[in-house]
Amino acid sequence: MNEILVTRSSMPDMEEYIDEIRDLWDTHWLTNMGKKHRQLQSELKEYLSVENIELLTNGHMALELTLQAMNLTGEVITTPFTFASTTHAIVRNGLTPVFCDIDTDSYTIDVGMLESLITDRTSAIVPVHVYGNICNVEEIERIARKYGLKVIYDAAHTFGETYKGQGIGSFGDASCFSFHATKTFNTIEGGAVCFRDKELGNRIYDLKNFGIHGPEVVEGVGANAKMNEFQAAMGICNLRHIDEEIAKRGKVIEHYRKRLGMVEGIKINPVQENVKPNYAYFPVVFDEKVFGFSRNEIADRLAEHGIFSRKYFYPLTNTFACFNGKFDVDKTPMALHIAKRVLTLPLYADLPLEEVDRICNIILEKIR
């Protein structure tokens, strides 16, 4: 019996990747914004339909350095229903995260609560697009303009998506993507930030490259967050196949929905209107009282059959041990409710539909 992991990295044929990196042995240019880096940057700008883009070594540095480049102070409103990176990027910039609860259907930030959390110390909002579900970008923009706040989207889950025909990376003051190996599109590791203000882009570039402006000129204190040529080459290859990969993932999700969509006690995300999806994840929320089994029991049952799901996102970032006693989780009750019940099921482009059936049969076997 083959193990099924919660995800599997999309990769081109080995020969295609070898062909893409072959000329690196001629140039010996392996990093420092070389030919591959510049090519991927250009291709992603077009694919994502954004005005400007900077590539970085990973999605976390994209977010952390973008926050730093904005010179923010005080408080930043965000969500605890996210990966550790989002909250850590805020805290590592000396900012105080203020946690907003989540919407009951999309699991993105609850825009109805946002204004109640704004104080004279608030400088920005960091909303998170979750599982490919996008935030209420119109309402977030309205609130941000009303109070003069910056908006930096954590768009790690929404590569290639559009809303009303507009690339998702074009919303807010900046949108940060992760190209980690587990994402719909990957550069092995990697990330990017999309933005409109070129001056912001200049500051991000400085921060990712030590503030260096020439062989003998260093104008600022920066870090090292450059995407190398091997990462960029993987991205160039994967971008050639991304639409096909997304279509394959869509067929997997369609089959999951067919098998689980009408089962009492199982909640599946509704399809969002006006969104071209990327089928990044398939989250399922189990109501133990109705379904008869808890999320943890289902995860354990799947694991017994060599099938590995993920409690994603659990625990909430405002309950992490490193923040012990700093935040009140009772202020985000919906996020806590979902975190205790959600399970993302295996999903990748080449997951056979018969394996999806096997996964669903195991989930449903004791309720028939």
Residue 302 CA, distance from chain mean position: 25
| Listed residues 191, 214, 237: the one ending a domain | 237
Distance CA(53)–CA(175), nearest Å, equals 9
CATH number of the domain that residue 115 is part of: 3.40.640.10
Q: Which pLDDT value is given to residue 368?
A: 54
pLDDT one-digit tens code per residue, 31-89: 999 999 999 999 999 999 999 999 999 999 999 999 999 999 999 999 999 999 999 99
| Listed residues 237, 272, 291: the one ending a domain | 237
Read off the pLDDT band of 367 (50, 70, 90).
low
Strand partners, 317: none
Return the DSSP state at 109: B
| 1 has a pLDDT exceeding 80 | no
CB atoms under 10 Å from CB of 166, counted, come to: 14
**CB neighbour class for 239 (10 Å; exposed up to 12, middle 13-18, buried from 19):** buried
Please state, in angstroms and as integers, the Cα–Cα distance from residue 158 to each residue in 93, 167, 184, 277, 341, following that order.
Answer: 24, 10, 9, 8, 23
State the residue range of the domain holding 255: 242-364
Residue 228 lies inside a defined structural domain of this protein: yes
| Listed residues 222, 237, 252: the one ending a domain | 237
Collect contacts of 216-220 with beta carbons under 8 A, ≥24 apart: none
Q: Which pLDDT value is given to residue 214?
A: 86
Residue 6 lies inside a defined structural domain of this protein: no
Strand partners, 176: 154, 193
Within this chain, do residues 292 and 316 fall inside the same structural domain, yes or no? yes
| 272 has a pLDDT exceeding 60 | yes
Distance CA(15)–CA(250), nearest Å, equals 27
pLDDT one-digit tens code per residue, 161-198: 999 999 999 999 999 999 999 999 999 999 999 999 99
> Please, what is the average pLDDT of the chain?
97
| 297 has a pLDDT exceeding 90 | yes
Q: Which pLDDT value is given to residue 2?
A: 82
Within this chain, do residues 28 and 137 fall inside the same structural domain, yes or no? yes
Over residues 2-9, mean pLDDT: 94
Over residues 346-354, mean pLDDT: 97
**pTM score, whole prediction:** 0.97
Structural domain count of the chain:
2
